[in-house]
Amino acid sequence: MLIAAIIILIGKFILDLSVEVLDLRNIKLNLPSEFKDFFDEERYRKYQLYLKENIIFSLVKSFLFTLICIGFIFGGGFNFLDNWVRSLGFSELVSGLIFIGILFFSLEIIFLPFSIYKTFVIEEKYGFNKTTPKTFILDIIKSWVLAVIIGGLILTLVLWLFEIKGERAWIYCWLGVSLFQLFLRFIAPVIIFPLFYKFTPIEEGELKTAIEDYAQKVGLKLKGIFKIDASRRTSKANAFFTGLGKYKRIALFDNLIKKLTPPEIVSVLAHEAGHLKKKHILKGFIFSVITTGGVFYLFTFFLNNPVLFSSFGVRNLSVYLSLVLFTIFYIPLEIVFSILGNFLSRKWELEADKFSCDTASSSDFVLALEKLTAENFSNLRPHPFKVFLYYSHPPVLERIAYIKNLAFSS
């Protein structure tokens, strides 16, 4: 099983490498005609360099992660860390939390320089970074605190259930984690998002009136329309809905308000409204619940498996180490689930695009897509294999062609 784990880790890196090499070739292609009004020769060259630098950065990070995992395995790291944690004399549950916590924060600290480089070198070089060192540090601290609280609660539940219920625990874990995911969808807009962004109700005016008129037109009940101070971190623009039921909010990046006209913003929100009206959020949650159940069921085959532990040189059987080792063998299935989930997501994105065209302006929506793509330096021509594996949205050129075809057909 040790050899299988190494093959999986190396295979995942080779897959990532292959995808990115193919994508690098596409970056060299000429500027699409749809974007000739948004890029001159110099800016397009800058865009190509930005994508290339991000791809190389991603590959270096992936290679280092693979190297660390393999080195830790062959160096007897799992057994050494397990013995040290057990020597502290805590219960099995607490030992599990400490063990996984050490692994998590070790990786966080190792890869922290990558986050710093990404933010303050790459994003800074191309004019996207607006994050100050103070904001960056505070964001890291908040993220870690949330990881301890939320991740700690979920992990405690899972370890405790498998300790007392054994192999039958997967059903209880499935139910418990699914309910917790649903709970997070309610509290995230109210508690978590405000930790990172300041939500300010947008002022009275043309934009607010246009959004309210559209919401009334399509029967969308909103708790509020808010502007968030994303410009403190990035110059990139976005918009999204948060919350469920009567707690739905519209959140607009302040960058978006500056870069798009009110009709263009309405067309973007019409797309997001399409996800709500077409029940994509619910469908996505159901898909997540199903895959979560599958993951917990498969885990039972790895739970306290003597052959598994022996192959990794670990003497003591435990639920927490079973869980950690399972994450390696789950990688191939994770790719399969990701492919299926992304396929559904791309399908839903086109349905939401159609909803936007049906209820707002297709020409404004195309212009908004072009502006956002150009402003954010999004990949204009990702390789089809990369789209198949990793993209939750269709490539922008495919979306534009789809929207124009809808307009022509109508």
| 242 or 45, which is more confident | 45
Instruction: Render pLDDT for 98-116 as a digit per residue (tens, 0 to 9).
Output: 999 999 999 999 999 999 9
Average pLDDT on 43-52 reads: 95
The residues spanned by each domain of the chain are 2-194+276-409, 200-275
Q: How far is CA 26 from the centre of its chain?
A: 24
Q: What was the pLDDT predicted at 245?
A: 63
247: pLDDT strictly greater than 80: no
**54 Cβ contact partners less than 8 Å away, ≥ 6 residues apart:** 122
Q: What was the pLDDT predicted at 338?
A: 95
Average pLDDT on 86-97 reads: 95
Q: For residues 23-53, b (16+ Cβ closer than 10 Å) or e, as one string?
A: bbeebeeebeebbeeebeeeebeebbebbee
Amino acid at 31: L
The size of the chain, in residues, is 410
Instruction: Render pLDDT for 172-216 as a digit per residue (tens, 0 to 9).
Output: 999 999 999 888 887 887 788 888 888 888 889 999 999 999 988
Q: What tokens does 133 get? A: 């060192």
> What is the pLDDT confidence band of residue 287, given thresholds at 50, 70 and 90?
very high
409: pLDDT strictly greater than 80: no
Q: Is residue 2 a contact partner of residue 73, using CB atoms and an 8 Å limit?
A: yes
Q: What was the pLDDT predicted at 234?
A: 84
> What is the pLDDT confidence band of residue 243, given thresholds at 50, 70 and 90?
low
Q: Is residue 138 a contact partner of residue 70, using CB atoms and an 8 Å limit?
A: no
Torsion of CA 171, 177, 182, 183, to 10 degrees: 130
pTM for the model: 0.90
Q: What was the pLDDT predicted at 410?
A: 65
**139 Cβ contact partners less than 8 Å away, ≥ 6 residues apart:** 131, 196, 233
On average, the pLDDT of the chain sits at 92
Task: Provide the pairing of β-strand 239-242 with 224-228.
Answer: unpaired
Average pLDDT on 377-396 reads: 95
Orientation of helix 152-165 relative to helix 319-329, angle to 10°: 110
pLDDT over 70, % of the chain: 99
265: pLDDT strictly greater than 90: yes
Average pLDDT on 333-361 reads: 96
Q: What was the pLDDT predicted at 190?
A: 77
Q: Which of 81-90, 192-201, 341-350, 376-385 bottoms out in mean pLDDT, i.e. has the lowest?
A: 192-201
What's the rounded Cα separation, in Å, for the pair 257 and 208? Answer: 11
**Catalytic residue positions?**
272, 353
Q: What was the pLDDT predicted at 222?
A: 80
Q: What was the pLDDT predicted at 188?
A: 80
Whole-angstrom CA distances from 53 to 62, 67, 237, 284, 344 are 14, 21, 21, 32, 30
CATH architecture under which domain 200-275 falls = 2-Layer Sandwich (3.30)
Q: What was the pLDDT predicted at 244?
A: 65
Q: What is the DSSP string of 136-154?
A: HHHHHHHHHHHIIIIIHHH
Average pLDDT on 377-389 reads: 95
Average pLDDT on 318-325 reads: 95
> What is the pLDDT confidence band of residue 29, given thresholds at 50, 70 and 90?
confident
